[in-house]
Every structure is written in C-alpha cells, then in structure tokens.
Amino acid sequence: MNDLDSFLNFLCKIQPLSPEGQDAILSLCSQVPIAKNQNLQDIGQKCHTIYFVKEGLARIFYLKDGIEVTEYFAFENDLIIRAESLFRDKPSTKAIQALENTVFIGIPAEALFSLFDQFAEIERLFRKIIEQAYVNTVIRMEAIQFHPAEERYAQLLAEKPNLIQRISLKHIASYLGITQVSLSRIRAAVR
C-alpha cells in the first residue's frame, strides 16, 4: 500500500493505466509539503514541474500594480500548473501558494514527457487532463467576459459552496476580477 493510491486511482479514472504505466508515473512523483501561506513556487521562476494537490488547498496568483490577483484555486486532486511558463519555457509571472497546509504531488515535466515515448497511455492521460483544464478555462472565461460580478459570485458559490469557508474574501474577490470592497457590497446586497 502506497499513500499515493488515491491519486493513482484518480488518474486511472481519467485514463486506465497498465501496472507498468502506473509504476512509471509513481517513480516520478514526489510529495512536497508546504505550510499555509508559503509559496511552492515564486514569481520569476521557470516552471518545469507539473503539480497536483494531494491534500490541502492552493492558488496561483500574480501581481497587478502591486496587488495580488488570484488566477486559480486548486483543491484535492486538482492540477495546478503555470501553463504559460511550462509549455513555453519562459519565466512565470505567477506564484503557487498554499492557502492551507498542503501536500503537493510534483512530477518533473521533462521526465514525464520522456515517458510519453514509452507509454502511449500516459501521453493520453495527460492529453485528457490538459483537455479538461482547457475546457474549464474556456468556461470560466465566458463567465468573466460578460457576466456581472454578482452573477459570478453566485455561480461560484453554487459550484463550490464550501469555498467560502476555506478561502478569504479578498482572494475570492480577485479571482472574480473585482476588489474586495466590491465583493463586500455584493454580499451586503444579497443579504
């Protein structure tokens, strides 16, 4: 019994993997515990690692005029990568931060890509994972493009009701593309 079993199980639901394939992935996985409010990766670093959240909660954020803007929240089993750095080999303008005590699973990208030659099933797995990430981003962009902030907040609450208990409002506000003052107003109006 390995404590990455539930993670492997999660992967196999996306794409069934042979025992050999599973072992190959496992051999690349390392667990990285990060304390609450600490960064897993800092702004300015090139991203060479694909991360998942094993337990805890994390976000990607960047700085806009000195203010932190949250781009993405990752919960258990969620993929968390800085795609614009990883797939373009450029330094990232974003950081990955643990919002709770969090254990990440890290997979070195180069080593993983090498596995693709040997295991087509693993390439397929990650193709599907990226497809899902892509679809999620398209859907989120639609929301942010033309829905007023109040709708976006309501929608977020409907999708992830427990979010509000685990994440501070200022992070939620910047994720919604508004200020925390504005979010406070929205909450007051709903109440």
Partner DNA sequence: CCCGTCCTTTTACAAATGTTAAAAAATCAA
Partner DNA sequence: TTGATTTTTTAACATTTGTAAAAGGACGGG
Binding site for DNA (CB under 7 A): 148-150, 168-170, 177-188
* Site mask for a second copy (CB under 8 A), range 158-177, x = bound: ----------------x--x
DSSP 5-43: HHHHHHHHHHS---HHHHHHHHHH-EEEEE-TT-EEE-T
Shortest gap between Cβ of 169 and DNA (angstroms)? Answer: 4
133 binds, among a second copy, DNA, none (CB under 5 to 8 A by kind): a second copy
Give the type of residue at 90. K
> Tokens representing 114?
């090498």
Shortest gap between Cβ of 38 and DNA (angstroms)? Answer: 13
Which residues, 6+ apart, have CB-to-CB distance to 152 below 8 Å?
143, 144, 176, 177
Long-range contact set of residues 164-173: C-beta below 8 Å, sequence gap at least 24: 166/57, 166/99, 166/100, 167/57, 167/59, 167/73, 167/99, 171/59, 171/61, 171/68, 171/70, 171/73, 171/99, 172/70
Give the Cα separation of 36 and 180 in Å (integer). Answer: 21
187 binds, among DNA, a second copy, none (CB under 5 to 8 A by kind): DNA
- Selected from 132, 160, 181, 190, the binder of a second copy by CB under 8 A is 132
148 binds, among DNA, a second copy, none (CB under 5 to 8 A by kind): DNA
> 83 or 95: whose CB is closer to DNA?
95
- Selected from 84, 91, 111, 190, the binder of a second copy by CB under 8 A is 84
Residues within window 11-70 making contact with a second copy, judged by CB under 8 A: 62, 64, 69
Residues in the interface with a second copy (CB under 8 A) total 32
127 binds a second copy (CB under 8 A): yes
CA dihedral for 33, 39, 45, 47, sign (positive or negative): positive
**Where does this chain bind a second copy (CB under 8 A)?**
62, 64, 69, 71, 83-84, 87-88, 116, 120, 123-124, 126-127, 130-135, 137-142, 144-147, 174, 177
